[in-house]
Amino acid sequence: MARSDRNLSWTPSRPAETIGIMKRIVAVVHDGFQLLDLAGPADVFDAANRVLRSRAYSVETTAPHSGPVATSNGVSVCAQSEEELPAGQIDTLLVVGGSAPLHNPIDPALVDIVTALAERANRVASVCTGAFILAAGGLLARKRVTTHWLVTDRLAGNHPDLEVEPEAIFVQSGNIWTSAGVTTGIDLALALVADDYGHDIARQVASGLVVYLQRPGGQSQFSTILRAKRPASDALRELQAYIDANPAADLGIAALAARVGMSPRHFTRVFTAELGIAPGRYVERSRADTARRLLETTEATQEWIARESGIGSTVTLYRVFRRHWYVSPGDYRRKFRTHIRPTNA
């Protein structure tokens, strides 16, 4: 018996006649690319077609050579060569990531196809390490960009003319859109749908795909705990847990050093060596993560959240959010608030 698509038939919020000309997405792949970098955005555009009840988007795949292109997980995708692609304008050129863009130099044939197709594209976008390919072709010169957090330093070092945002989910700089690692390609594609057809359509697409709408470009790629290394010593592991569990406590260098029986100078040196981050910086990020969670899950006032997270004042809370997530606390709460738990604050 045929499978019913009833649960995938979402009601559009705007009539199909407003859709206009089908938007052509051309994705550039290469040997060893990350499948999710392609599949995630492609499924977003496919879902948008169902929401809009029209073929609003088409997705084509191209590579330096035609035929099967192997992904990093062994699955192969059939691609056309540049010569086999139909002529005409491209709405969005999407360059996917993988290990190949980290090679130095990047395959010249890959750079050539991207730069040639970019001339025909209204928008140029990359997922994960696809930013390295765009940079190699000179397409990111003097742009604000991002990529996977593991290689942001490398991108900035290879291309000092770029303004690399190390924690952003995605960044738009003119007609150039770059996203962070792997699943953030979905966030990027949802942002492109919102840019084309409005946030309500993007929200319906995200709902149908059961994904979180919508992490703004400035949301951090990862939490404080993921950023830091795991300490080798039991004492520092216990101290790390204490910091994360007690953000409003005295977490100054002297107090923390006393808890582990070290001088402040020696403690700072050992903590930084074992966790890969200075203690003051770790405390700030841990408190920011606490405030972020409280904004997402409570109705507490910003004054209360600033106190409970150890940040102190609403003025400092605002500065911390602008520094870490590029949005105000109020904007963050409006975009990310989940089911609200009662609070006595």
Confidence of residue 76 (pLDDT cuts 50, 70, 90): very high
Tell me how many domains the chain contains: 2
Mean pLDDT of the chain: 86
Most confident of 58-67, 159-168, 238-247: 58-67
**261 C-beta neighbours (distance < 10 Å), count:** 9
The tokens describing 47, both together, are 């879902």
Mean pLDDT value of segment 281-309? 90
In a domain, 18, yes or no: no
For residues 160 and 302, membership in a common domain is answered with no
- In this prediction, residues 97-122 reach a mean pLDDT of 93
Would you place residue 241 in the very low, low, confident or very high pLDDT band (cuts 50, 70, 90)?
Answer: confident
Give the domain extent around 237.
224-336
Q: Which of 212-216, 271-275, 327-331 is most confident?
A: 271-275
Is there a single domain that holds both residue 229 and residue 98? no
* pLDDT above 50 (res 93): yes
What is the Cα Rg of the chain in Å? 23
The answer as to whether 342 is a domain residue is no
Identify the band that residue 251 occupies on the pLDDT scale cut at 50, 70 and 90. Answer: very high
Model confidence at 324: pLDDT above 50: yes
> Is the pLDDT reported for residue 5 higher than 60?
no
In this structure, are 93 and 144 located in the same domain? yes
**Sheet-wide strand order for 121-126:** 57-62, 23-28, 90-95, 121-126, 176-179, 170-173
| 238 and 199 in a common domain | no
Given 183, 209, 235, the domain boundary residue is: 209
Domain CATH code at residue 240? 1.10.10.60
Q: Which of 161, 185, 209 is the last residue of a domain?
A: 209
pLDDT in tens, 21-58: 899 999 999 999 999 999 999 999 999 999 999 999 99
The stretch 274-289 carries a mean pLDDT of 91
Mean pLDDT of 179-189: 90
d(CA 165, CA 148): 10
Q: What is the pLDDT of residue 9?
A: 36
- The whole-number pLDDT of residue 7 equals 34
Same domain, 159 and 60: yes
Q: Does 162 lie in the same domain as 42?
A: yes
121 & 265 share domain: no
For residue 221, what pLDDT is reported? 56
Chain position carrying tokens 């101290």: 239
What sign does the dihedral 311-314-316-319 (CA atoms) show? positive
What is the C-alpha separation between 207 and 3, in angstroms, rounded?
20
Of the chain, the percentage scoring pLDDT greater than 70 comes to: 86
- Top pLDDT among 225 and 341 is at 225
Smallest CA-to-CA distance from 28 within 145, 106, 104, 141 is with 106
Q: Residue 32 is part of a domain; what is its CATH number?
A: 3.40.50.880
Same domain, 203 and 266: no
Lowest mean pLDDT across 129-138, 221-230, 259-268, 293-302: 221-230
pLDDT band, very low/low/confident/very high, at 227 (cuts 50, 70, 90): low
Instruction: Output helix, strand, coil percentages for the chain, rounded to the nearest 5.
Output: 50, 15, 40
Do β-strands 76-79 and 67-70 pair in parallel, antiparallel, or remain unpaired?
antiparallel
Residue 300 lies in a domain: yes
| Confidence category of residue 3, pLDDT binned at 50, 70, 90 | very low
